[in-house]
Amino acid sequence: MSMVLTERRGALAILTLNNPAQYNALAMGLVSDLSAALDAALAAPAARAIVLTGAGKGFCSGAQFGGNTFSAGASVADRMRDGINPVIDKMRNLPIPIVVAVNGAAAGAGVGIALAGDIVVAARSARFILSFARLGAVLDAGTSLFLQRSIGVARARALSLMAEPLAAETAEQWGLIWKAVDDAALLDEAIAIAEKLANGPPISLGLIKGQLEAAWTSPLAATLDSEAAAQGRAFVTEDLREGAAAFVEKRPPRFNGR
């Protein structure tokens, strides 16, 4: 049985981490199943957005300990390079948007999984815990970058070094996530956001995702040139002509992804 469940709803793929007994800890099976589920969602002809959430009481508790976890020693670096790292990179570079619904605690690498999405909503009861320092481990799954981008250096350092839980509402106030919502409304809210994105111009949204990712490491001149090139691609699409016509005619646009 897959450790990531997939449900199709029109243009949406709803992916659910499915290791609830371990609070969706990142066993190797779950990591590989998540990678495969992302690929399958993208391959579906009608797919325009993804919702990612967790089964049970937690979103993702991070690494799964046990067995030969600690005897692995330095080889854990190779496991990460072959496992979780490509998944984080895939999420960031997927051409369709990912809405993450954090239904419970996100800890350790689970925080990285959450923040690798494009729009993150969390249940009010959810918590974000950079638990690495509690264990004698170090930041991974992109958290050393995502935290500083989102909430700034001072807060990122304090959260990382003290490993204290961050409440969902504070995460919203600090800009770590898009919003905190009532627990019962979480999935509906995430699906509503994803449906809005799915009705948007897919080429444009994919280009915007790429722009935002690349701009963090590019000088201004390169960014301006990249923006011009991307705008050149957008302006030859049918979607842009449809968007402009809908604006003039005061009606909702009907984007077809061409």
pLDDT tens readout for residues 207-228: 999 999 999 889 999 999 999 9
The whole-angstrom separation of Cα 41 and Cα 7 is 10
Q: Which residues, in sequence order, are CB contacts of 177 under 8 Å at separation 6+?
A: 102, 114, 120, 121, 122, 168, 171
**What is the structure's pLDDT at 44?**
87
**What is the structure's pLDDT at 72?**
59
Full-model pTM: 0.93
Rounded to the nearest 10 degrees, the angle between the axes of helix 238-249 and helix 202-215 is: 110
Half-sphere exposure of 55 (CA within 13 A, CB side): 17
**What is the structure's pLDDT at 242?**
87
Q: What counts of helices (H) and strands (E) characterise the chain?
A: 12, 10
With contact defined as beta carbons under 8 Å apart, do 84 and 66 qualify? no
Residue length of the chain? 258
Q: What are phi and psi of 94, to 5 degrees?
A: -60, 135
| Domains with residue ranges and CATH for the chain | 4-198 (3.90.226.10), 202-249 (1.10.12)
The whole-angstrom separation of Cα 137 and Cα 180 is 29
**What is the structure's pLDDT at 76?**
84
116-165 pLDDT, tens digit per residue, is 999 999 999 999 999 999 999 999 999 999 999 999 999 999 999 999 99
**What is the structure's pLDDT at 27?**
84
Give CA 200 to chain center in angstroms. 18
Rounded to the nearest 10 degrees, the angle between the axes of helix 143-151 and helix 153-162 is: 130
Give CA 237 to chain center in angstroms. 27
Residue ranges, the chain, pLDDT below 50: none
Q: Report helix, strand or coil for 81.
A: helix
